[in-house]
A and B are shown apart, each in its own frame.
Chain A
């Protein structure tokens, strides 16, 4: 086991360098740079732009820029944002925290909803309930999240126009006057803003997870030992939850590692449409502005979490399933 862990950790090193260099290269291959936008500004002279370019180090060859950046990384410094004129970590962190307000509750909700739906579907396959859940899950999967968000906003506005009551806010994370509220009020306000984005973020992923659970469960329910358990005269509930469910849930252990990078990657376009101050709108801005170190820094943090998450998954699986260790 120790050897296995060591080997896995050693693999991470070349992967990390390869992936970061590739990311850096791809960002740099995009035409132009952070200052290209400024070149169309009638008030700025070319000399000024050239000077800024050398101040930002953008006139250096790519490999030099990469090595400098790597050197900074080893000092745990993700570099400097051009547009914010501040360290990358300092500007990214608050956004990541804001995103977690959506990501963590919606992940919990996802497991709480998707697994029971999957179990129900496996126990009563092709029943009306199973078909209904499948249908709804596929709607959630097939309608893009930003569109769902737009529909939600529309519905909220219509309700407000009809009744004068705004059930939930149509965007943002906090209300006007938030800064003057008490601590408890503030938490309540954020929770009130959270409801719609969390539901939307969950709706998208329910389909995949519940189908996976349903498949696993059906497979397990077809096994011999389940028949044996039933033959012993155990109640159906004990058979399903004590014997089948426990074994069916094992593969989900492997997905836990994958949750790590998703913690920081935000809730995607839902954040943009619902004006949530998360990482997605921020990152899109960085891409549009070609704010090199913000993009590279964020990708690196994501990459490290992905590598760690995969390692964790593999170790968990190896711990659960002895066969894996000897590959």
Chain B
């Protein structure tokens, strides 16, 4: 009897929960070029990816564009508004920040549901954080939950209230809070019983798609190894994600991603109309797409030079050469590095390496992060005369019989420049630099070497490291604070020019201090000023010589509607929000 009463109450409770109207997040129409009146429902968007998927497990997935991140979409307590770059509430409806700025308390939206119909609550965020921060799991997100080695803590206050506590004030606090919640009711019991080993066995590629639970816009329908993944709309997502007319999102029924290992094959598939979205990276690919469009063979749109790509290419000189004091003194001299910057013909690099479709770089901030770029930073542009003048000030006034500069003691100005073999673009950049250097009498010996050997040399530490100069690139970095946490600080693992473990130049010390100040500054305007100041010091110190980077050229088949307006069509925001994309025909 009592049991029956209990079941009745439980049933009533469930009913009550499902009748409570989800508080919707409304997707602003200004995020898309489409009008509400032209939007259609249904259809399949066909994309492609270069590398195969490795797992469905959100705690093990490490490749970019992995399946869990696609399924989850924008999921997280907060997300960015692409039109402003600001953090806005998403799965949370609001937040409060404690007076000491170390705790952020989030109110979670009610009515959020996983694809299996279970509600998304504070437990899911707590369990997800716990598993990510278990060393034995080996999650790729592990380091993002620590600041200077101190942990960020996620606590449940009640089912719909969550508190995240930071060891320091942090400019990237919201970026940390934007992690995706995975179902505690799926992972929790396994983690309780078997720990990290149990988690690692879950959701491998051989798992049945119907067992994969998603918090986001897509659920997994099928995966064919090396061929494609097919995702289906998650109807529960549409209960709380609406367009301005109140229609549930996404509009699409399916999202298919083909795995295409070769860029030529990708181009062919786009030209044949087999895939809908594409971002060509070489001049040749761009011109083929353009031609096909102009000659009416392909009904598509391409936006050439939409924005720079968030990546850098640079030359770094080794300051730690105890065994060669002559070179060490040279590489540590900013006059020498300025001279070298004057020898980098950035325009020639853009013309020859990127076919005219690239952007020059002068500081560590990617040109695409326009709000962070300090327009007043001095640039040591291509100027061989100025380079020769600076080198003569360093004592290199005479040339030897072969035409190379020597100092008063007859020591030749000569060094080795390495890059990773097989990277055609970097090899071309290096050769251009060698030619320019030769014109003013600097002998640069170019050696392409194996990538892993190069990384080994670059990241070695101590007073005597085994290279002169290396040409390489980095990518990654954030909109909140675009400086590298392990690049700028003198003890950083990627402080590539000086790995002695301490600052050698007073300006390094300054940068180190400014980095920490900026990272803990919560006011954007003030943080931006610190960033500007850092770029000025960088430009003077030139710890690395930035060269140039490629541009982003999104293309899509005109079957699709709902791409970003031109203002936010960039390598940061991409060409579209999938949720607002629809099939026209």
Contact = CB atoms under 8 A, between A and B. Distances in A.
Nearest to B261: A281
B55 A179 contact: no
Given A32-B456, A85-B60, A90-B206, A45 B264 contact: no
Contact of B260 (A31, A37, A275): A275
Interface string B266-280: 101101101000000
B205 A84 contact: yes
B269 A275 contact: yes
Interface in A30-57: 30-33, 36-37, 39-46, 48, 51-52, 55
A281 B205 contact: no
- Of all A-B residue pairs in the complex, the 6 with the closest CB atoms, nearest first, are A32-B452, A277-B226, A281-B261, A94-B225, A277-B227, A161-B297
A163 to B, nearest CB: 11
Given A85-B55, A272-B262, A281-B226, A170 B269 contact: yes
Contact of B477 (A42, A44, A95, A275): A42
Nearest to A276: B226
A30 B227 CA distance: 30
Interface of A: 30-33, 36-37, 39-46, 48, 51-52, 55, 83-86, 90-91, 94-95, 98, 150, 153, 156-157, 160-161, 166, 169-174, 176-179, 272-275, 277-278, 281-282, 284-285, 290
B143 A282 contact: no
A275 B450 CA distance: 27
Given A43-B144, A48-B143, A172-B258, A91 B450 contact: no
Given A90-B204, A95-B225, A85 B57 contact: yes
Contact of B486 (A45, A86, A150, A174): A45
B248 to A, nearest CB: 22
B540 interface: no
Interface stretch (B9-17, B46-54, B520-528): B46-54
Contact of A39 (B260, B450, B459): B459
Interface residues of B, number: 63
B8 interface: no
Query: Of A37, A95, A281, which is in contact with the most chain B CB atoms at under 10 Å from its CB?
Result: A281
Nearest to A46: B493
A153 B142 contact: no
Given A83-B54, A150-B264, A161-B297, A30 B269 contact: no
B264 A52 contact: no
B227 A169 contact: no
B548 interface: no
B226 A273 contact: no
Contacts of A86: 55, 204-206
Given A84-B205, A98-B225, A177 B44 contact: yes
A90 B206 CA distance: 8
A299 B243 CA distance: 53
30 contacts: A31-B450, A32-B450, A37-B455, A42-B485, A45-B486, A55-B138, A84-B55, A84-B205, A85-B55, A86-B206, A94-B226, A153-B264, A153-B265, A157-B271, A166-B272, A170-B274, A171-B260, A171-B268, A173-B227, A176-B46, A179-B221, A179-B224, A272-B262, A275-B258, A275-B259, A277-B227, A277-B259, A282-B52, A285-B51, A290-B452
